Amino acid sequence: MCQPSIALWRAQAYKETVSISRGMVVKRLAPIFLGVAACAPALAQQGITVYGVADLGVLRDHDSGTTTMKVDSGLQTASRLGVTGTEALGRGMTASFVIESQIEADTGTPSFAGKVFGSQVWVGLAGPLGALKLGRMFTPYFGAIATNDPFDAKGPGEATRLFQDSGVRMDNTVKYSLPPLLGGVYADLAYGFGESGVSQAANRQLSMDAGYAAGPLNTVLAYHQTNDAKGNRQVRSVLVGGNMDFGPVRAWLLAARNRNDAELDTRDILLGLTVPLGQSSIAATYVRKQDRFHANADAHQLALGYYYTLSKRTNTYIIASGLRNEAAARYQASLPGGDRRLLACGMRHQF
């Protein structure tokens, strides 16, 4: 039987010697996950799970008059490979960790240059008073967007093609979450140390959310602030939203305001619907960006998705979106005033 301690020691050895060269990263990353996968049965007995997503499709991309076709990764969900584990410590305390790599499945390369495990890496301790995590992780603000976007904030229809996401992930982070047994009430507070020699405020991030999720209703209020390299407030965003299951359809709503001390003052709004149809489902959204500071700089996007479930872990999808900019805006477009139309057809497998 494979010994988990030996496998983890070998993985650590590879991690310590890995090169940030893109080609070397791929060569050194493969043995780590192959070793972990080979030990999966033994690891499962230790409370450790290997998981992942392979998502690939064909994408037609029309950008301001130019059209391209390609195979692309993560058109519904980011392709990834990870290891997670928990350990019961007694007295209601639990230790846990996640080590996850996001992968461009069309080429096999890591999604984040120089970061083999750039998706998320954290270790945490949970108990009756809540949970504490340290590491690289998703911001609570982005989590509020993703859980209230019918397209899960990924792919051609994602809200963050126009929404100010204010940073999807945070490095050097300490995060506290309320315990889960509070009648549906939840809250998260995350602080990302800038770790800059300029000042403690430089590159610092602060993100938080609070909401209620029980039965058919999910509501959330979120805030995020990012500082620049000099310690100035680069952007601060406030978001409110939620979704409600009405039986035959689920309705989605998000609204946000983004500001800084200079020229940023925008409003974001999302309206969405999802309709389950047996093995199939349909998602549709309208997203609008309104710029209160610059004239003729608004934009809007319409998106429609169709999903067909083949099994518990596998589905196919067709997703289309159209984004139009006003004359002074260029969101997701190569030219000011340009439009962007995407059509994706692919398959996702989760394990």
pLDDT digits (tens, 9 = 90+) for 148-161: 999 999 999 999 99
Residue ranges of domains in the chain, CATH in brackets: 50-350 (2.40.160.10)
Answer whether residue 2 shows pLDDT above 70: no
The share of the chain scoring above pLDDT 70, in percent, equals 87
Answer whether residue 82 shows pLDDT above 60: yes
8 confidence band (pLDDT: 50, 70, 90): very low
Answer whether residue 224 shows pLDDT above 80: yes
Residues in the chain: 351
Average pLDDT of span 229-239: 89
Average pLDDT of span 88-98: 95
Residue 229 pLDDT: 87
Answer whether residue 259 shows pLDDT above 90: yes
Residue 89 pLDDT: 95
Answer whether residue 88 shows pLDDT above 80: yes
Q: What digits encode the pLDDT tens for the residues 280-304?
A: 999 999 999 999 999 999 999 999 9
Q: What is the mean pLDDT of the chain?
A: 89
pTM exceeds 0.75: yes
Residue 34 pLDDT: 56
Answer whether residue 5 shows pLDDT above 50: no
Residue 1 pLDDT: 41
The share of the chain scoring above pLDDT 90, in percent, equals 78
Half-sphere exposure of 341 (CA within 13 A, CB side): 5
Three-state SS across the chain? Answer: CCCHHHHHHHHHHHHHHCCCCHHHHHHHHHHHHHHHHHCHHHHHHCCEEEEEEEEEEEEEEEECCEEEEEEEECCCCCCEEEEEEEEEEECCEEEEEEEEEEEECCCCEECCCCCCCCCEEEEEEEECCEEEEEEEEECHHHHHHHCCCCCCCCCCCCHHHCCCCCCCEEEEEEEEECCCCCCCEEEEEEEECCCCCCCCCCCCEEEEEEEEEECCEEEEEEEEEEECCCCCEEEEEEEEEEEEECCCCEEEEEEEEEECCCCCEEEEEEEEEEEEECCEEEEEEEEEEEECCCCCCCEEEEEEEEEEECCCCEEEEEEEEEEEECCCCCCCCCCCCCEEEEEEEEEEEEC
Answer whether residue 15 shows pLDDT above 50: no
Asked whether 192 and 172 are in contact (CB, 8 A), the reply is yes
Q: What digits encode the pLDDT tens for the residues 313-333?
A: 999 999 999 999 999 999 999
Residue 233 pLDDT: 84
Answer whether residue 7 shows pLDDT above 60: no
Q: Looking at per-residue confidence, does 30 or 331 come out higher? A: 331
Answer whether residue 206 shows pLDDT above 50: yes
Residue 112 pLDDT: 92
Q: Looking at per-residue confidence, does 30 or 256 come out higher? A: 256
- For the ranges 21-35, 139-153, 198-212, the maximum mean pLDDT occurs at 139-153
Answer whether residue 123 shows pLDDT above 90: yes
Residue 17 pLDDT: 35
Residue 10 pLDDT: 36
Answer whether residue 6 shows pLDDT above 70: no
Residue 137 pLDDT: 97
Answer whether residue 173 shows pLDDT above 60: yes
